[in-house]
Structure 1
């Protein structure tokens, strides 16, 4: 008996590729925003977190438009030569689109934009490959979760994970406990995956999300202004940007 078509298994993890039509629509949207706004900023992100980037979008939703990810599409939309540019002078921004960078369109004055992004630096958990900003020692006694208010000890069922991450814990009255202090990390040393996971579990934040403004294009005269801002180091550039994550930020 032939197999019923209704019995076919469909993987829920399969993601369809973006079509030529989708990319074309995105290029058109970018070019429409280049026509609409007075300034186009090129930026990059340190310690990338999608949640923080979406917070920026939410806070600026009435006075700006942000695009992040798909650098080749953004460069194609703006143009990278005078012959290809969609607005006078904007190809100088398109030429600089490399790596994890984004575009920020707004009518807000440059001083306001620069000041806002200088102040917006939420703390977050460090990742493997980041450098520890301080030495952390877990004291003798019950292993505590400091992100809880007030801090509370880890439950008994998490003791195997703590041991797997390098803690020499023992169970005392059902609580994972250290018989001696444990140095989790040293200031200035690169964090291992185990150290980064332990820091997250106990609630120690060592990373800082920050946006570096690279350049801005001015619609009224077609000029490009390079922004003298602190360079983001290579260990800060990693983050959770996949195609789908980036597309969420770009298309919402």
Structure 2
């Protein structure tokens, strides 16, 4: 007997997403408001972007502001030309606003900011599509929890036997021998410089390989004092030459 359409429930409500235009306007306004209270604006690029680590930086620099959004919106907030720039000289930062970059506004001295980001880094598991910074091969024999050789001599536990089906489902030809996960021959998970797929990233995570380095590189900064823009790399090279 066919079902009655009268009993069919149709959901009309939808989760409303914040319009991108509204987000852009909020970003634009926030940048301009913060420019009023800070004397330096840095452009930075990011390797292995992770929101968690950006939050950590924001927490460490509570009196500064970090923006990571659409580059076109950030550029408009600064001002694309000398005629419409929000602060004197800041439009000279705009050519550096391309690619995976953000904006860091602060009143701390440039030397302090540069020294902080020079040493700041954090690691995480790599994601699919990333380039592997390491080569990783699981050796033949008993597989240990870190996927390296001579685990017993290093006090490393063998891989849990309950994970054997998981690792085998990731195309690693394992088998159980007396309750130990083993390989008859070594297995290459990835090579340095190779673009990783989801299977490889799962294996790297399973063996605890946090090899993706989150790193911020400062590109250039603007100074409110004279409206100048300085490229960080060139400044560091000049300082090194002076030391020599």
For the superposition of Structure 1 and Structure 2, which TM-score range results when normalised by the shorter chain? 0.7 to 0.9
Q: Which residue of 2 aligns with 1:107?
A: 107
Q: Which residue of 2 aligns with 1:194?
A: 199
C-alpha distance in 2 between matches for 1:66 and 1:92: 19
Report deviation, 1:125.
2.4
- 1:53 to 2:58 alignment: no
- 1:181 to 2:186 alignment: yes
SS of the aligned residue for 2:41 comes to strand
Report deviation, 1:44.
0.8
Report deviation, 1:152.
4.1
Report deviation, 1:178.
1.9
Contact 1:80 1:95 in 2 (8 A): no
Q: Which residue of 2 aligns with 1:89?
A: 89
Q: Name whichever of 36-45 and 153-162 sits farther off.
A: 153-162
Report deviation, 1:141.
3.7
Alignment RMSD: 2.8
SS of the aligned residue for 1:24 comes to helix
Q: Which residue of 1 aligns with 2:126?
A: 126
Report deviation, 1:46.
0.8
Report deviation, 1:98.
1.6
C-alpha distance in 2 between matches for 1:48 and 1:19: 21
Q: Which residue of 2 aligns with 1:236?
A: none
Q: Which runs of 5+ in 2 are unaligned?
A: 148-154, 235-244
C-alpha distance in 2 between matches for 1:19 and 1:166: 41
Report deviation, 1:129.
4.4
TM-score by length of 1: 0.76
C-alpha distance in 2 between matches for 1:60 and 1:118: 15
Report deviation, 1:118.
0.8
SS of the aligned residue for 1:162 comes to helix
Identify the match of residue 172 of structure 1 among 168, 174, 177: 177
Report 1 or 2 for greater relative contact order, CA contacts < 8 Å, sequence distance ≥ 6: 1
Report deviation, 1:209.
1.1
Contact 2:141 2:183 in 1 (8 A): yes
C-alpha distance in 1 between matches for 2:39 and 2:26: 22
Report deviation, 1:64.
1.1
- Give CA-to-partner distance per residue, 1:31-87, whole Å, 9 cap, x none: 0111100100011101111111111111112x3110002222211211111122111
SS of the aligned residue for 2:36 comes to helix
Q: Which runs of 5+ in 1 are unaligned?
A: 230-252
C-alpha distance in 1 between matches for 2:11 and 2:189: 49
> Which protein has the larger Cα radius of gyration, Structure 1 or Structure 2?
2
